[in-house]
């Protein structure tokens, strides 16, 4: 089975801290995504990556950056955490358009981040 | 980005069919229609996707309108385990030529025993 693993299920950080959220996938997928999920707002795309070292902004990139040094790992970085970044963060991966097996996305279990 | 519109919530009785509607009036010719669902305390999981023709798989059926401005996810016999938030999304192309998934707020399905 495809597996997308997020490093932590729950995380509590202080305002101003630099926070790293890690995501690893084991299916050699080209595409990886970071979303945040808030009540009433659904899932909102923060950043995505379509290849190693390649990234593109999503709908809400402000206050975040990302890193993809290896194909299987996609990191979300909060440079200086703020309380309004308290949220559920979801990572996903999917194969490129032309790959066999379809282009569905596979999600991790999520990281619930609380910034105090 | 193309957007979708879904009802906030729906209810169904167990063992009965459920039709979950989705409007996507600004869909472009190359946008695939995807459905995902999110069970409590889990990440979203893929249900089904299609482009123009109706699609069936072991989980559900997807009926796509002829003009592609709307679609309907059909659960043939709802069970209590189908209670979830169902998202209709368009697989949208980005400026780099790759694609991304833009989620809306979804439909919360409640299944009554």
Nearest-Cα distance to chain B for A89, in Å, is 10
pLDDT tens track, chain A, 116 positions = 669 999 999 999 999 999 999 999 999 999 999 999 998 888 999 999 999 999 999 999 999 999 999 999 999 999 999 999 999 999 999 987 654 445 788 999 999 999 99
Decide: B7 and B21 in contact? Cβ < 8 Å.
yes
Most B CBs within 10 A among A25, A43, A108, hence the mutation to make, goes to A43
**Closest Cα in chain B to A91:** B43
Going by their DSSP bridges, the two strands B84-93 and B107-112 should be labelled as antiparallel
Nearest-Cα distance to chain B for A97, in Å, is 8
| Cα–Cα distance measured from residue B48 to residue B64, given in angstroms and rounded to the nearest whole number | 12
Please write the tens of the pLDDT for every residue from B28-54.
Answer: 887 888 999 999 889 999 999 998 889
Element (H, E) at B47: strand B45-50
In this complex, the residue of A4, A33, A41 whose CB is nearest that of residue B101 is: A33
* CB pair distance less than 8 Å for B100 and A44: no
């Amino acid at each position: 089975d495809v597996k997308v693993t997020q490093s932590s299920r729950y995380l509590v950080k202080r305002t101003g801290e630099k926070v790293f959220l890690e995501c690893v996938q084991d299916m050699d997928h080209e595409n990886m995504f970071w979303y945040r999920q808030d009540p009433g707002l659904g899932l909102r795309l923060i950043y995505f990556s379509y290849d190693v070292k390649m990234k593109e902004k999503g709908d809400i990139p402000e206050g975040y950056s990302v890193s993809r040094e290896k194909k299987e790992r996609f990191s979300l970085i909060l440079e200086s955490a703020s309380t309004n970044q308290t949220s559920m963060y979801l990572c996903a991966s999917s194969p490129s358009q032309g790959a066999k097996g379809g282009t569905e996305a596979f999600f991790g279990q999520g990281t619930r981040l609380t910034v105090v | 980005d193309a957007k979708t519109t879904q009802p906030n919530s729906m209810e169904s009785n167990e063992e009965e069919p459920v039709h979950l509607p989705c409007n996507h009036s600004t869909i472009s010719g190359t946008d695939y229609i995807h459905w995902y669902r999110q069970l409590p305390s889990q990440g979203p999981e893929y249900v089904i996707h299609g482009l123009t023709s109706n699609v069936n798989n072991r989980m559900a059926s997807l009926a796509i309108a002829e003009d592609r401005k709307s679609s309907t996810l059909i659960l043939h016999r709802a069970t209590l385990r189908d209670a979830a938030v169902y998202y209709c999304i368009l697989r949208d192309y980005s400026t780099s030529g790759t694609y991304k998934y833009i989620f809306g707020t979804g439909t919360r399905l409640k299944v009554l025993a």
